[in-house]
Every structure is written in structure tokens, then in C-alpha cells.
Amino acid sequence: MSDETEDLEPQQFNQLYWDEDVPIEDVRKSALRKFIYVCFALCVLFIVAGFFVTFPDQVELPFVIRSDQSEEVYRFSYPVYVLEKYAVPGDSVTRGKNLIRITSPEIVALVNNYREAEQNLDNFRQRKSMSFHKQKEMIASRIEQNKSKINQAEQELADLQKTWESNRAMLQYESDDAEKKYEQNKKLFDEGFISKNELVEFERKKIHSGDAFASAKHEFEKTQLNLSALRSQLILENNSAGDELSKQELDSKYDSASVNNQFLLAQNKIRNSFGDFELVDNDLVLKAKENGTLSFVFEGEKEVPSSAILMKVIYVHSSIYAWLKSPAALVGKIVRNKKVVLKVSSFPSYEFGTIGGHIDNLTITPDESGNFLVRVIIDDYGILDHMIKVGMDGQAAIIVDEKTFYQYFFLRMKKEYYRVSLKS
């Protein structure tokens, strides 16, 4: 080694092996393999997440902030009687808290109608619905019995056909054989080899075998016709039972809708006049619909004259709500108490957040422009508390359902399929 470097200068000897001269290991394959593993793991993660992670299915409509009167004033067009007070002016009230118990002849009539509708609904659910169910079971049982009889008749027809095929060959052979022997012996009789009595015997056998074949064929056709008629009758009975079952289901749905509408109508008559309520005997207990403060309670005698103020409640934020219009095409998805997210145009949601609420009520019939009016109660102002003013507008997102990615995907495919089917 010293002989090889003795002719070199010191700087040449010291720089003989540099790190730069060592070859670099090729890591491209391992990096590519790791990259593929990571991509595969992410794909599996996204596929699995598609089954479980849900996304809201929402309806977006423009809204406007409106205001009610500053206080909730309870007054009625007929006299009412105060039976019990549960709070005094200045008390804080929470949503659902009992405020006052009242009655009157008009209230008693409304309560009676409500209880009658409620009883009809309970009777339908407990008895009529059970009766419909029993009738459906009886019809279904009759259909199954008829199906069993139809199968039995078809089996008997198949067995009858096999038996006839077997007997027909034998009877046909006997008939043909008797006919042949008769013809042969007739020639012998004409030639004088046999007597008249012998010929008559062969003729009798020929007629007997022919009658046996005809009789067996007639019996087969008669039995076959009877079994076929029985099968057709059972099929008609099953078709009739199916129609009866469909009618039972339609009647059940109609009756259910009728008693439900009757109950909702009786309930809304009270709610629209008195707000949130609870029945105690034949009396009404009025409840606070939101958090607030009781500011006034009638202090006279028990009788509150018509148009006189029974009580006043100042509700926290009760005077502000969102008002929106829904086209007829979307109103079927909008129901009471559905969650609503309000994005106010004056305050960008990415900076100020959104307002939470729920659907309080919507009109039963459309307005002159064909839109249904929807009222949204605000539940959570977030950081926009005391910043919302009447007249502000924005977009309301009504959460109607939550679906996974695959549910949305197949829903889209179903929509496209029906669109193509309608075109074709």
C-alpha cells in the first residue's frame, strides 16, 4: 500500500477515497411500493367509510327574518274562567312549564271533541287495526288453502291422465282384438264352418269390448272436466280473495288517515287558539312555548271577560323567527320539528357560523303564488346572539334525511334509470 502511494503528493493521498465516489443505493422501488401500499390503504378506508359515514340530505330555501309582537298576549273572544295559577308576574318560565289552568263552555266543547277524536284514534289502533289484521289473516289463510286444493286437483289430473293412458292401450287392444275375431268368424260362418250361436257370441264380445272402451273414455273425460272446473273455480276464488285483501288494505289506510286527520284537526283547534296546552279533566293548562318571563296575569275575579288580557309572556327571542316559502314540489319533505340550519347573508357562515332551529309550522294550503309558508323557530343563535335583526335574509338548509355515500350513489342510478325508462 505504501509502495503505491509513495509517489503521490499528500493532497492526492488524502483525497484518494471521497464519499462522493461511493455509489448511492437505489430506493425508488421501495418508495414506489410504500406509495402503492398507502394508496391501497386509503382506498380501503374510503370504501369502508362509504358504508357508515352519513351525509345530510337537505332542502335549501331562501328565508327572511321576521318578528312577532314583543310580548305573547293571551286573550280570547269569549269569557274564560281561571281555576289555578302556577306562576306570578316576574317569574322566569321555561319551555313546557305550566302557567295557568282555565275553563269555559267553549273550552269544554273543544276538549270533548279532542277526547272523542283521541278515543276514536285509540280504538282504531287497538281494535279496528287488530280486526283488519285478523281479516287479512283469514283471507290469506283461505288463499293458502285454495292453493293447496289447486295443487291437489292438478296432481289428480296428472294421475288421471297417466291411468287413462295405461288403460286406453289395453281397452283399445281388447276392442280391436274382438273386432278382428268377429270379422274372422263371420267369414267362417258364411262358409258354414261355425254355427250362428258361435258367431253371436263373438259379436257380443265385440260389442262389449267397444262399450267398455267408450265407457272408460267417457268416465275419464267427465272426471277430467270436473277436476279442471274445480281448479278453475279455486283460481277464481283466489283472485277474488286477492282483490278483497287489496280492498281491506285500502280501507285500512283510508280509515287510519281519517281518524288521524280528525284527531289532528281537534288538536289544532285548541293549539291555534291557546298555544301549547295540557288537558286536566275537561280543563286546559296553558304551557310556556319558550323560555321567557311572565310579565302579566289577570288579577280580577275568576271570570276573564271576552277580549280581556289573561296574561302576557315575554319570550327570549320569541319575537324573531325565520319565514320561508316552499314550492309544492318540496313541501312533501318538510315536516314539523325537522332540524333547520340558517345561513345569514349578512354574516358569512365560515366566519360567524350558522343558526340552528326547527320547523314549527307550515300551511296546509298554498298561497296565491302556489307556495307553502313555513315558520322556523330559532333554537340556537350561536355567536350571532343579539346580532340578528328583522329583515335579514339567507339560505335555510332543512335536514330531511341522512344517507351514506352508497345510498346516494344508488339513488342517483335509480333516478337515471327511471329517466331513461320514461324516455324509451
Helix residue ranges per DSSP H, 81-104:
none
Task: Specify whether the CB–CB gap between 58 and 400 falls below 8 A.
Answer: yes
Residues above pLDDT 70, as percent of the chain:
82
What is the percent of the chain with per-residue pLDDT over 90, rounded to a whole number? Answer: 4
Nearest to 227 by CA among 156, 165, 176, 301: 156
Topology annotation, domain 122-274? Helix Hairpins (1.10.287)
| Structure confidence at residue 63 (pLDDT) | 92
What is the structure's pLDDT at 344? 92
- Comparison of pLDDT for 268 and 224, the residue scoring more: 268
Mean pLDDT of 88-98: 86
Burial label, 130 (beta-carbon count in 10 A; 0-12, 13-18, 19+) = exposed
Residue 90 has pLDDT above 60, yes or no: yes
What is the pTM assigned to this prediction? Answer: 0.40
Query: What local confidence, expressed as pLDDT, does residue 92 receive?
Result: 85
pLDDT at 393: 92
Sequence-ordered list of residues with C-beta below 8 angstroms from that of 80, at least 6 positions apart, any chain: 102, 103, 104, 107, 303, 304, 310
Residues constituting the chain: 424
